[in-house]
Chains A and B, each alone.
Chain A
């Protein structure tokens, strides 16, 4: 009798311990499963992202590359990478990661997708691009650079200048402070800073000229001499504006009789190009255009601004919810790119001696925007307001601290983030515009 009772007690205890052990083991297993599942998911995500990064790296080195990798072993899993071109010059990278691990509390294989879109980058996306950074030149406390900024040189800052757009440099950054009363070294990169980033300063003249020959307007002297072209844009109240143009051989003084043409007839694709010589520009732009001039030798390739060059409708309007501030006017359809194989020069004339307004992205391939005959003894000419962007080989003088010349204000036209003037010079490199994971 006693033996049976003991046996029952032992069986009961064993049963109880088994249940306790089962519950304890089950809880432990589930806890480990949770951890393993999180690890598997994270690892899978990293595998797919790594594949996308590898493909992007190849494209940055060779922009013409397309192709695929299948079942590339990586980090305990596999990657399928597919690179295709679409919409003429855009690139899509899809990277699919595969990993066998714990997913949904079971051992099995799962996939993860990373999708990247790359586009050719246009110089017009920069608020300010300068190929060379001047030796000893600083951006200092109080300076504000609006829009994306890039230099192929080394950016020098003193104190705390503010950059509202993303800043990239090839040569790095030297942030100095506590010198000449400019405070501590603390440049404010509100949209981030990245270096080294190589955006070579290039100009494909042939591409613009071909576009002009195809469906735009190309000016060139029949005898191959350098030619000066004067363009005066005006708004005639219609959907498409007009331009008055005249020409003369470079170095001569007499302009031809002005011809007025509707812009959709003169240059349907918006490209107006002077093969070699100078371009004289002013007026009110109605539509999207890229105008410019090539050079032969050092005496031409200049774009001279004879007066304001502005859009029919302002690209900025007052912000109704933030008095005192402006926002982009999406009703403005006007856009101008100015390309000088040499540089853009503001003419020293009566019209320009009391401020100048420039609505355009200005591309200076061999120099930078400057003022005709600028010197410390020149009078004060007011403010040079550039609403668009400035791309230049090297910064030039537009004013002096004694008040001579202009005080310069450059405001980035945010519409250039997504749209460019027709056939405006591109960087010949790609940039990532979308990243999905």
Chain B
């Protein structure tokens, strides 16, 4: 009786332990998958937010409600580098009223450095802040995990402009926009350099964006 009971207890403990191990392992896997999926979800959402913002504003390059104030759209892009762009536009009056107020605004986009103090606190060593500034207002900044914000400019022949003129017209007809977004903080072993880019990185490329306002008149 005593020996048999002992065997039963040991057997039950063994089986129960195995079941518990399986349970813990499944819990770990579940949590990991959840974090990974959520992380990818966040990356995708952030990327879409960036894209929608850029497309919304870039479509309006050279637009002004009082169109006589930008009589020559060819000079609407006033500054262009591989990580920044400034152009003339007429920003929306409000979310409800998307048309401008008829005054020419200067809208500028640029990305900060991955070693800026604002992003040094995030675990991801490559993320940068995207800045959006209207005229001389305080720049609006968002850390959406952008690790690449690259602009290329093309002339009327479709050739990339290698040397940008010092002043408008810059000869830009179309743009290529490359954006890569990663999680600012990711699930995984931070000691592994590739932890952010292996499966939590999303890349978007607008091959040729041509703002309608650039090619009118």
User: B30 near A190 (CB under 8 angstroms)?
Assistant: no
The answer to whether B26 has its CB under 8 Å from any CB of chain A is yes
Q: Which residues from 58 to 96 on chain B have a C-beta closer than 8 Å to any C-beta of chain A?
A: 59-60, 63-65, 67-68, 71-75
User: B217 near A166 (CB under 8 angstroms)?
Assistant: yes
Q: In the complex the two chains form, what is the Cα distance from A27 to B98 in whole Å? A: 32
The answer to whether B170 has its CB under 8 Å from any CB of chain A is yes
Stretch at the interface among B36-44, B117-125, B188-196: B36-44
Q: In the complex the two chains form, what is the Cα distance from A37 to B155 in whole Å? A: 32
Beta-carbon contacts of A22-35 to B below 8 Å, as 1s and 0s?
Answer: 01100110110011
Contact of B171 among A28, A191, A322, A434 (CB under 8 A): A191
User: B26 near A16 (CB under 8 angstroms)?
Assistant: yes
Q: Which residues of A contact B65 (CB under 8 A)?
A: 434, 436
Q: Which residues from 74 to 117 on chain A have a C-beta closer than 8 Å to any C-beta of chain B?
A: 113, 115, 117
Q: Which residues from 112 to 131 on chain A have a C-beta closer than 8 Å to any C-beta of chain B?
A: 113, 115, 117, 125
Known: A41-B52, A189-B155, A191-B74. Is A435-B41 also a contact (CB below 8 A)?
no
Q: Which residues from 135 to 194 on chain B have a C-beta closer than 8 Å to any C-beta of chain A?
A: 155-157, 165, 167, 169-171, 173
Q: Which residues of A contact B208 (CB under 8 A)?
A: none
How many pairs, one residue from A and one from B, have CB atoms within 8 Å of each other in the complex? 101
Interface size on B, residues (CB 8 A): 45
Known: A24-B33, A190-B170, A418-B68. Is A435-B74 also a contact (CB below 8 A)?
no
Q: Which residues of B contact A191 (CB under 8 A)?
A: 72-75, 169, 171
Q: In the complex the two chains form, what is the Cα distance from A436 to B34 in whole Å? A: 43
Known: A27-B38, A38-B51, A165-B72. Is A189-B67 also a contact (CB below 8 A)?
no
Beta-carbon contacts of A174-207 to B below 8 Å, as 1s and 0s?
Answer: 0000000000000011111110000000000000
- Which of B52, B68, B212 has most A Cβ within 10 Å? B212
The answer to whether B54 has its CB under 8 Å from any CB of chain A is no
Q: Which residues of A contact B165 (CB under 8 A)?
A: 190
User: A434 near B67 (CB under 8 angstroms)?
Assistant: yes
The answer to whether B45 has its CB under 8 Å from any CB of chain A is yes
- Which of A9, A41, A188, A437 has most B Cβ within 10 Å? A437
The answer to whether B48 has its CB under 8 Å from any CB of chain A is yes
Contact of B63 among A164, A189, A418, A435 (CB under 8 A): A435
The answer to whether A288 has its CB under 8 Å from any CB of chain B is no
Q: Which residues from 315 to 334 on chain A have a C-beta closer than 8 Å to any C-beta of chain B?
A: 322
Determine how close the nearest CB of chain B comes to the CB of A29; give it in whole angstroms: 10
Q: Which residues of B contact A322 (CB under 8 A)?
A: 167
Q: Which residues of A contact B60 (CB under 8 A)?
A: 436-437
User: B169 near A164 (CB under 8 angstroms)?
Assistant: yes
Q: Which residues of A contact B216 (CB under 8 A)?
A: 431-435
User: A166 near B37 (CB under 8 angstroms)?
Assistant: no
The answer to whether A215 has its CB under 8 Å from any CB of chain B is no
User: B63 near A192 (CB under 8 angstroms)?
Assistant: no
Determine how close the nearest CB of chain A comes to the CB of B206; give it in whole angstroms: 11
The answer to whether B215 has its CB under 8 Å from any CB of chain A is yes
The answer to whether B99 has its CB under 8 Å from any CB of chain A is yes
Q: In the complex the two chains form, what is the Cα distance from A374 to B164 in whole Å? A: 41
Q: Which residues of B contact A49 (CB under 8 A)?
A: 212
Q: Which residues of A contact B44 (CB under 8 A)?
A: 31, 34-35
Determine how close the nearest CB of chain A comes to the CB of B11; give it in whole angstroms: 12
The answer to whether B207 has its CB under 8 Å from any CB of chain A is no
Contact of B212 among A38, A164, A431, A437 (CB under 8 A): A437
User: B30 near A20 (CB under 8 angstroms)?
Assistant: yes
Q: In the complex the two chains form, what is the Cα distance from A322 to B19 in whole Å? A: 79
Contact of A31 among B26, B33, B41 (CB under 8 A): B41
Beta-carbon contacts of B1-41 to A below 8 Å, as 1s and 0s?
Answer: 00000000000000000010001001100100110011011
Q: Which residues from 152 to 170 on chain A have a C-beta closer than 8 Å to any C-beta of chain B?
A: 164-166
Determine how close the nearest CB of chain B comes to the CB of A38; give it in whole angstroms: 6
Contact of A34 among B45, B169, B212, B214 (CB under 8 A): B45
The answer to whether B112 has its CB under 8 Å from any CB of chain A is no
Q: In the complex the two chains form, what is the Cα distance from A192 to B215 in whole Å? A: 7
In the complex, the chain A residue whose C-beta lies closest to that of B22 is A13
Q: Which residues of B contact A38 (CB under 8 A)?
A: 48, 51-52
The answer to whether A417 has its CB under 8 Å from any CB of chain B is yes
New A-B contacts (10) at CB < 8 Å, excluding given A38-B52, A191-B169, A192-B74: A35-B44, A38-B51, A165-B72, A190-B169, A191-B74, A193-B156, A431-B216, A435-B216, A436-B99, A437-B59
Q: Residues of A with Cβ closer than 8 Å to B?
A: 9, 13, 16, 20, 23-24, 27-28, 30-31, 34-35, 37-38, 41, 49, 113, 115, 117, 125, 148, 164-166, 188-194, 322, 414, 417-418, 431-437
A-B contacts, 26 listed (Cβ < 8 Å): A20-B34, A23-B34, A24-B33, A24-B34, A27-B37, A34-B45, A37-B48, A41-B52, A148-B217, A164-B169, A188-B171, A190-B74, A191-B169, A192-B173, A192-B214, A193-B157, A414-B71, A414-B72, A417-B217, A418-B71, A431-B216, A432-B216, A433-B67, A434-B65, A434-B216, A435-B63
